[in-house]
Every structure is written in C-alpha cells, then in structure tokens.
C-alpha cells in the first residue's frame, strides 16, 4: 500500500521502521513483517502517527508486549504502534499507582509489593503491559485489573481524554478502552496497604505458574476464553487433545489451555490447531470455545 508524502515525512521523523518481523515482538514468536512499526515516546507522538496513517488510509494496530497476539506470517500491511518501553514510567502517590501504558504489569506488580501495597500480586506473572492489561481486563487467581483500575487516559480522534472507569467499562476479558475504541496511554490504579501477605501471595502465584504452565515454550497464554460454567483447559483435556500437534503448534501436554509453539510454528499451524480444538470440543461437549488470543492477519 502506498503512503503519501506527508505520511512518509511524519513516519521518518518519528523513526518508523519498515518490515520488522512480528515474531520479534510477540510471545508466540510467530508473525511476518509488519509493513510499518513505531514505538512512540509520548501520547503526542502516538497521536501524530495515528493521524499520519489515517491520511494515507493505512490500517493501524496498537499493541503492547504482544503477549496475546497471533500475527500472520505473510506479513501485515499496516502501521503497528507499540506502546512499550518508550512509554513505561510509573510512580506511587500513597496507594495510588500512575503508570504509562507501556509499563510491564510484572514490573508494576512487583514494585507495588515492594512499596508496601497490595492489589496487584496476581499480575506479577502476566507478561503484558498496563495498556494491554487494561484493554483485555487481564486477570488471574481471582484478581483482575477492573478491581484496581480507577482512571484511564487514552487517545481518541487526536485528543487526550482522561476518564474515570465506570461500572460496565470492564468485564471478563472485555474493556471499553481496547483498541480500536481507544489507544490507552496511561492508567491510574488504586491499591491498598499491604496486609502483610502480599509478597507470600505473589510468590505462591509465581510457583503455581511455574508448576502448571508451559513457560518453557513460546505461547500467548490461555488460547481460549473461559466458557460459562466451565474451563477451556479442562474441556480440551477431556477431549483427549493434550499433545495434539499440527506442524510446530501443539496443545501443551502440561496445560491443555495453552497452545504452544514447540519449534518453528507457522501462523497456519496455530490457526489450524485453534480450529481443530474448537471443532472437536464442540462436537464432544457442545461448547464453542472463543479465542482469547487476538488474531491479526
């Protein structure tokens, strides 16, 4: 796709790179060249990039740490805006944590416990950003971002908007602030004074992840959302699909809820395995699993 001269000027002024492999920026380690790839350092830069892409009718994807993404290996003709380490500062004011969207959940979680606070212990093993977490309403072990998220700042139509989080803005793996509705640049969370058990809880969750999750293989975490009244992993296991393999993609024998890349998986391998698992679980149990992983092609 051609971009016009003005778009091209803005892109070069903001160090937009071309042909960057998505596999280098996704935890699945799958994905071909992103036609344009930017890592803005401020909301203004992000807004300029959005505007410039719009001028050339170039599709845009906003991503964080790429830990919930499956990207086509044919490449994607779009501008990928990564809100990552260039926008990752954070700080505490009493029990209030303000973080730029690119800060890692694992980092702010550990820092909050070190600062004598609780409310984010469950997030220490989630490999996403604050922005990606707020877009997914990430959660684990009974916690989720909606419990602590109070305010979100995001770009919409070139403006920076700050809004208090209201009832209904966040639900199970749902957020009103997820791209393309909004580009999250900052979040404010309200934590609580540590009851003395935060560090122990965090360590327990870390140990449980190490024991139960196939962290030794690239993946995007849980492949499917939890169906009402059930667990995706349990259904997949009962269907006898642990270890089921298509090319380099495999249903983890350690945790059936994870599809892992066990070496050189292509986009098609993973996509075909997702389809296979959905069809098989539906046939055996009448439950249609919905992917939690976001697919970009």
The residues assigned a catalytic role are 173, 222, 292
State in angstroms the smallest separation of the CB of 106 from ligand FAD: 10
Shortest CA distance to 223 belongs to which of 263, 281, 169, 176?
281
**Counting contacts by CB under 6 A, is residue 83 touching ligand FAD?**
yes
Shortest CA distance to 182 belongs to which of 135, 149, 133, 147?
135
Q: Which residues is 71 bridged to in the sheet? A: 296
SS3 45: helix
x-marked contacts with ligand FAD along 98-117 as a string, rule CB under 6 A: ---x----------------
User: Is the distance from CB of 132 to CB of 104 less than 8 angstroms?
Assistant: no
Q: Which of 67, 95, 106, 153 binds ligand FAD (CB under 6 A)?
A: 67
Q: How far is CA 208 from CA 13, 33, 260, in A?
A: 46, 35, 18
Helix (H) or strand (E) holding 210, with range, is helix 198-212
State in angstroms the smallest separation of the CB of 216 from ligand FAD: 10
Measured CA angle at 205 (ends 142, 118), to 5 deg: 65
Task: Return d(Cα 195, Cα 198) in angstroms, integer.
Answer: 7
**Counting contacts by CB under 6 A, is residue 183 touching ligand FAD?**
yes
SS3 25: helix
Preceding omega of 253 cis (within 30 degrees of 0): no
Pick the closer one to ligand FAD by CB: 82 or 244: 82
Q: Which of 32, 40, 128, 291 binds ligand FAD (CB under 6 A)?
A: 128
Q: Which of 96, 107, 140, 160 binds ligand FAD (CB under 6 A)?
A: 140
Q: Which of 31, 33, 40, 127 binds ligand FAD (CB under 6 A)?
A: 127
Q: How far is CA 56 from CA 36, 47, 66, in A?
A: 13, 15, 25
Number of residues that bind ligand FAD (CB under 6 A): 34
Q: Which of residues 196-215 bind ligand FAD (CB under 6 A)?
A: 213, 215
**Alpha-helix residue ranges (DSSP H) falling in 126-197:** 130-136
Pick the closer one to ligand FAD by CB: 208 or 240: 208
**Counting contacts by CB under 6 A, is residue 265 touching ligand FAD?**
no
Which region among 47-55, 110-118, 182-190, 264-272 touches ligand FAD (by CB under 6 A)? Answer: 182-190
Which region among 14-22, 163-171, 218-226, 276-284 touches ligand FAD (by CB under 6 A)? Answer: 218-226
Task: Return d(Cα 226, Cα 276) in angstroms, integer.
Answer: 18
Torsion 122-128-131-137 (CA) sign? negative
Which region among 30-38, 159-167, 178-186, 283-291 touches ligand FAD (by CB under 6 A)? Answer: 178-186
Q: Which of 126, 188, 232, 236 binds ligand FAD (CB under 6 A)?
A: 126
User: Is the distance from CB of 81 to CB of 49 less than 8 angstroms?
Assistant: yes
**Counting contacts by CB under 6 A, is residue 138 touching ligand FAD?**
yes
**Counting contacts by CB under 6 A, is residue 257 touching ligand FAD?**
no
**Counting contacts by CB under 6 A, is residue 43 touching ligand FAD?**
no
Binding residues for ligand FAD, per CB under 6 A? 27, 62-69, 83, 101, 126-129, 131-133, 135-136, 138-140, 178-179, 182-184, 213, 215, 219-221, 294
């Amino acid at each position: 796709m051609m971009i016009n001269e003005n778009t091209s000027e803005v892109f070069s002024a903001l160090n937009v790179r071309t042909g960057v492999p998505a596999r280098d920026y996704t935890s699945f380690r799958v994905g071909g060249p992103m036609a344009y790839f930017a890592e803005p350092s401020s909301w203004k830069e992000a807004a300029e990039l959005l505007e410039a892409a719009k001028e050339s009718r170039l599709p845009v994807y906003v991503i964080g740490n790429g830990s919930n993404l499956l990207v086509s290996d044919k490449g994607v003709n779009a501008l990928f805006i990564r809100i990552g380490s260039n926008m990752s500062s954070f700080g505490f004011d009493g029990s209030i944590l303000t973080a730029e969207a690119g800060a890692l959940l694992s980092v702010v979680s550990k820092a909050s416990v070190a600062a004598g606070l609780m409310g984010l212990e469950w997030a220490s093993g989630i490999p996403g950003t604050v922005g990606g977490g707020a877009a997914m309403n990430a959660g684990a072990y009974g916690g989720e971002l909606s419990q602590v998220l109070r305010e979100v700042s995001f770009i919409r139509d070139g403006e920076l908007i700050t809004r208090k989080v209201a009832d209904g803005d966040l639900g199970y793996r749902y957020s009103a602030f997820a791209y393309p509705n909004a580009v999250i640049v900052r979040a404010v969370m309200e934590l609580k004074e540590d009851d003395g058990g935060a560090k122990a809880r965090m360590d327990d969750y870390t140990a449980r992840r190490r024991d139960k999750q196939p962290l030794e293989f690239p993946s995007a975490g849980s492949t499917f959302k939890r169906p009402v009244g059930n667990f995706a992993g349990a259904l997949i296991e009962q269907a006898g699909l642990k270890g089921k393999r298509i090319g380099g993609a495999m249903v983890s024998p350690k945790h059936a809820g994870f599809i892992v890349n066990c070496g050189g998986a292509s986009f098609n391998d993973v996509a075909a395995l997702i389809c296979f698992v959905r069809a098989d679980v539906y046939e055996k149990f009448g439950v249609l699993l919905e992917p939690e992983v976001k697919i970009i092609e």
